[in-house]
Structure formats: structure tokens, C-alpha cells
């Protein structure tokens, strides 16, 4: 028992330290896009523990973007040096049909992003229960939980273990077999019966998750240049983009091979930036 107490003391100290962190930390909430999933292969590893969870791992990288305001354009050159020279030159006089416009070339201001690997395990045997009312003492409520969750007519099944704390009003129910958890989690609530009433408690998947290889980075573009100063003339965006393309393609204008041009005339546009020379990871600037 002394050992347990010592361990508890260590854990408390750790938690207290973690809580004191907020002053130097920041929170990032991101949505993850849904893409189609397909089956690849099947394997049968010897490790028993792998069969009681659905494990999911993936890499998440912040999508860095730049909002092109009206009168701005982005141009990506094939050659980094060309792009840097265009920026150095600063002012460029570009002809659009019968008009001439003075455009300014600048580096693209990009924000900071996050890249991380997420590993999660969702249990097929356990579920998290929350919002358990404090109607009964701990021991009795634990029994009521075991009983309610074993009722097959409500989607339950044989309960192996109940972990319950009166203080947090939460519990973790472990079922004997795989699959019961899936059944129960088809809904967000589950009926918990006591002698006097029926409560609808919240149920959610029991998940273990952790982050690996977290990297914070600030975006910088070496081949893409921001052009400002486009006046809203009668032409549509496509012909403006073509004129810019033609102008900057010429070495005599201080340009070179152009890959992409995009401009925003009538309304702002959001441009997405990707890793340059990507091999699945970001390349760092020296």
C-alpha cells in the first residue's frame, strides 16, 4: 500500500506540473478531412492485445494558406533563384493589353503550422460512460452499472469489469466479448436503471491516443512570389493571369520558367500551399 501511495504522489505532482503549463502553451484545434477508405490486406499477428482494439494512425499537417486580396497575384517559378531575383528587383512594369501596371514583388507571408503523427486505439471491449448521477453510494452504483450494461435488450452484453468513480461521475465498462461496445455506441446514450428511476447516461468510445514526432514550423516559400498592385481593369482574371505569365516567362523581364499564376481581381481567394519537393515530409530551410 505504501508503494501505491508513493506512485499516487508522483502522478499528482506530474498532473500539477502539467496544469501549470498554460502560460507557455497553445492549443490547436483542427478539422480532419474525410477521404475514401479502402481495404489493403489482412494479417494475423501473434500478439493477443492487438485484437481488442481498432488501431488508427496517421500524419496530420496544418494546411498553410494565404488569402489573396483583391489586386494581388501569386506566381510560382520553376527556379528558386529566378523567384528570389524577381523579389529583389521589387518593381515590375507589366503590360495588360493597352494598359501598363506597376506591380510590386514580395515574398509570401505565411503563418506557422503543426505537423504530427497521431496514434490511437479504440477499444472493442470497453466504453466510457459519463454523467452518472450521484443517487447511490459507490459500491451500489457500480453494481447497477454492471446490471444495466449487461441487458441484451438494450444492446448490452456480459460485463467483465466496471471501473467507477463517484467523484468524476464517470465509468469505464469492460465487456467480455468484442462487439458489444460497437452495439452500444450506435447511440450516444444508454439507459441506466436504479431502483427508483432510469437515467440516460452518455456513452462514448474508450480511446487511448498519443502524439509522436510533433513539429512546429513556419512556412516560407522560395519559389512562389506575391505580386501586388493589380488594378481592376475590364479584363477577366484568366487573361490577366495570361499576361502576367507571358511577362514573367521572359528572361529579359527578369523572369524565367513559370509554373503557376493565380490572381484575385473581383474578390479575395484562398491559396493553399504545399510542401515543396515533398517526399511525405517537410524540407527544412538551412
Partner 1 sequence: MAEKFNFPVDDPSQDQLTWENVSRAEIPGPQEEDELWRKKLLKLCYLKEEQKRLKLRKEKLQQLQAEQYVPPKEEVPFPVPQAVLVFQGQTKVGKEVRETVISNLQIHYPLPESSALVSFEDPKVAASLLQHQEHFILLEECRLRVPIHPVELPVPASIKVLTWLCSQKVLVVGLPTDRDLSEEQLLDKLEIFFGRPSNGGGEVTTRELLPGAAVLGFADDKVIQNLIQTCCFKVPLGSQEVPLRVFPYVDGKIQEMEISPCPVPNSVLVLNIPDILDGPDLEDTLEIHFQKPSQGGGEVEALTFVAPGKRSLALFTHEST
Site for partner 1 in 34-93 (CB under 8 A): 34-45, 50-66, 74, 76
Q: How many residues bind partner 1 (CB under 8 A)?
A: 110
211 vs 267: CA distance, rounded Å: 39
Site string for partner 1, 149-188 (x = CB under 8 A): ----------------x-xx---------xx---------
Let me know the angle formed at the C-alpha of 217 by 211 and 223, rounded to the nearest 5 degrees: 135
Residue with cell 538551412: 286
Binding flag, residue 205, partner 1 (CB under 8 A): yes
Could you tell me the smallest distance in angstroms from the CB atom of residue 25 to partner 1? 3
Torsions phi, psi of 151, nearest 5? Answer: -75, 110
Binding flag, residue 229, partner 1 (CB under 8 A): no
Binding test (CB under 8 A) with partner 1, winner from 95, 211, 232, 242:
211
Binding flag, residue 271, partner 1 (CB under 8 A): yes
53 vs 51: CA distance, rounded Å: 6
Polymer length of the chain? 286
Count the neighbouring beta carbons within 10 Å of the beta carbon of residue 164: 20
Nearest C-alpha neighbor of 66 from the set 258, 216, 227: 227
Could you tell me the smallest distance in angstroms from the CB atom of residue 51 to partner 1? 4
The nearer residue to partner 1, 95 or 239, going by C-beta atoms, is 239
Site string for partner 1, 117-156 (x = CB under 8 A): xx-x-x-x--------------x-----------------
Amino acid at each position: 500500500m505504501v508503494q501505491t501511495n508513493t506512485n499516487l504522489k508522483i502522478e499528482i505532482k506530474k498532473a500539477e506540473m502539467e496544469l501549470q503549463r498554460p502560460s507557455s502553451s497553445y492549443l490547436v484545434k483542427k478539422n480532419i478531412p474525410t477521404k475514401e477508405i479502402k481495404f489493403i490486406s489482412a494479417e494475423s499477428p501473434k500478439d493477443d492485445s492487438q485484437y481488442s482494439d481498432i488501431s488508427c494512425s496517421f500524419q496530420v499537417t496544418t494546411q498553410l494558406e494565404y488569402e489573396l486580396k483583391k489586386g494581388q497575384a501569386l506566381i510560382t517559378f520553376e527556379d528558386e533563384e529566378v523567384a528570389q531575383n524577381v523579389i529583389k528587383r521589387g518593381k515590375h512594369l507589366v503590360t495588360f493589353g493597352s494598359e501598363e501596371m506597376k506591380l510590386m514583388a514580395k515574398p509570401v507571408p505565411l503563418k506557422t503550422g503543426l505537423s504530427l503523427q497521431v496514434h490511437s486505439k479504440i477499444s472493442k471491449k470497453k466504453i466510457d460512460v459519463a454523467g452518472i448521477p450521484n443517487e447511490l453510494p459507490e459500491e451500489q452504483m457500480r453494481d447497477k452499472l454492471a446490471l444495466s450494461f449487461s441487458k441484451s435488450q438494450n444492446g448490452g452484453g456480459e460485463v467483465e469489469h466496471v471501473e467507477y468513480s463517484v467523484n468524476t461521475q464517470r465509468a469505464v465498462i469492460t465487456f467480455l466479448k468484442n462487439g458489444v461496445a460497437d452495439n452500444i455506441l450506435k447511440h450516444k446514450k444508454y439507459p441506466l436503471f436504479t431502483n427508483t428511476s432510469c437515467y440516460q447516461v452518455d456513452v462514448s468510445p474508450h480511446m487511448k491516443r498519443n502524439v509522436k514526432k510533433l513539429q512546429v514550423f513556419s512556412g516560407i516559400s522560395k519559389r512562389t512570389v506575391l505580386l501586388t498592385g493589380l488594378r481592376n481593369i475590364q479584363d477577366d482574371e484568366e487573361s490577366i493571369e495570361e499576361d502576367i505569365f507571358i511577362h514573367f516567362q521572359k528572361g529579359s523581364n527578369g523572369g524565367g520558367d513559370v509554373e503557376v499564376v493565380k490572381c484575385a481581381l473581383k474578390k479575395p481567394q484562398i491559396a493553399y500551399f504545399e510542401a515543396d519537393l515533398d517526399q511525405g515530409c517537410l524540407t527544412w530551410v538551412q
